[in-house]
Amino acid sequence: MSATAAGGEESPPLGFRSMRTLARGPGSVIELVYRREGTFRRMYAVKRLAGALRREPAARARFLREARLLGALRHPNVVAVLDVGEDDEGPFLRTDYAFGVSLGELSARLASRGIRCPPQLALRIGVAVGHALWATHELEDQHGEPLGLVHRDLRPANVQIGFEGVVRLLGFGVVQSLADEAPATSLTPNPYRAPEQRRQDVVDGRADLFALGVLLHELLAGGLPDPERPLGGRVRCSEEVLRLVDELLAPDPRDRPASAAAVTRRLELEVRELVLQEGPLDLRGFLEETLGDVITRRRRELSTLWDAFDGDVSPAPPARVGTGPNTGRYWRLAAAMALAAILLGVALARLT
Looking at residue 166, its pLDDT comes to 95
Question: Range(s) for CATH 1.10.510.10 in the chain?
Answer: 100-290
Query: For the residues of 43-77, what is the DSSP string, one character each?
Result: EEEEEEE-GGGGG-HHHHHHHHHHHHHHHH---TT
Distance (Å, rounded) from C-alpha 318 to C-alpha 322? 9
| Selected residue with higher pLDDT from 210 and 351 | 210
Mean of per-residue pLDDT scores for the chain? 80
Q: Give the end-to-end CA distance of the chain in Å, rounded to a whole number.
A: 48
In whole angstroms, how far apart are CA 207 and each of 75, 79, 109, 255?
21, 21, 28, 12
Letter for the amino acid at 138? Answer: E
Contact in structure between 31 and 18 (CB atoms under 8 Å): yes
Three-class secondary structure of residue 135 per DSSP: helix
Looking at residue 104, its pLDDT comes to 93
Identify the weakest region by mean pLDDT among 189-193, 219-223, 283-287. 189-193
Three-class secondary structure of residue 147 per DSSP: coil
* Longest Cα–Cα distance in the chain: 94
Would you give the DSSP letter of residue 330?
H
Looking at residue 312, its pLDDT comes to 55
Q: If you classify domain 4-98+297-313+325-343 with CATH, what class do you get?
A: alpha beta
Q: How buried is 63 (Cβ within 10 angstroms: 0-12 exposed, 13-18 middle, 19+ buried)?
A: buried
What band does 175 get if pLDDT is binned at 50, 70 and 90? low
Distance (Å, rounded) from C-alpha 27 to C-alpha 49? 6
Phi and psi (nearest 5°) for 226? -135, 115
Three-class secondary structure of residue 34 per DSSP: strand
- Residue 304, pLDDT above cutoff 50: yes
| Selected residue with higher pLDDT from 150 and 338 | 150
- Residue 12, pLDDT above cutoff 50: no
Closest CA to 140 of 128, 132, 148: 148
Distance (Å, rounded) from C-alpha 181 to C-alpha 202? 9
The model's pTM: 0.78
Distance (Å, rounded) from C-alpha 299 to C-alpha 334? 35
Contact in structure between 21 and 90 (CB atoms under 8 Å): no
Tens of pLDDT, residue by residue over 16-35, are: 788 888 888 778 888 888 88
Helix (H) or strand (E) holding 198: helix 195-198
Contact in structure between 167 and 190 (CB atoms under 8 Å): no
Looking at residue 161, its pLDDT comes to 95
- Residue 13, pLDDT above cutoff 50: no
What band does 290 get if pLDDT is binned at 50, 70 and 90? very high
Looking at residue 224, its pLDDT comes to 93
- Residue 333, pLDDT above cutoff 70: no
- Residue 238, pLDDT above cutoff 60: yes
Looking at mean pLDDT, say which of 62-66, 74-78, 298-302 comes out highest: 74-78
- Residue 302, pLDDT above cutoff 90: no
Report the percentage of the chain scoring pLDDT > 70: 79
Average the pLDDT over 206-220 and give the result: 97
Question: Range(s) for CATH 3.30.200.20 in the chain?
Answer: 4-98+297-313+325-343
Looking at residue 201, its pLDDT comes to 92
Closest CA to 34 of 15, 13, 50, 12: 15
Looking at residue 29, its pLDDT comes to 86
- Residue 76, pLDDT above cutoff 70: yes
Name the CATH code of domain 100-290 (choices 1.10.10.10, 1.10.510.10, 3.30.479.30, 3.90.79.10): 1.10.510.10
Three-class secondary structure of residue 5 per DSSP: strand
Average the pLDDT over 181-206 and give the result: 78
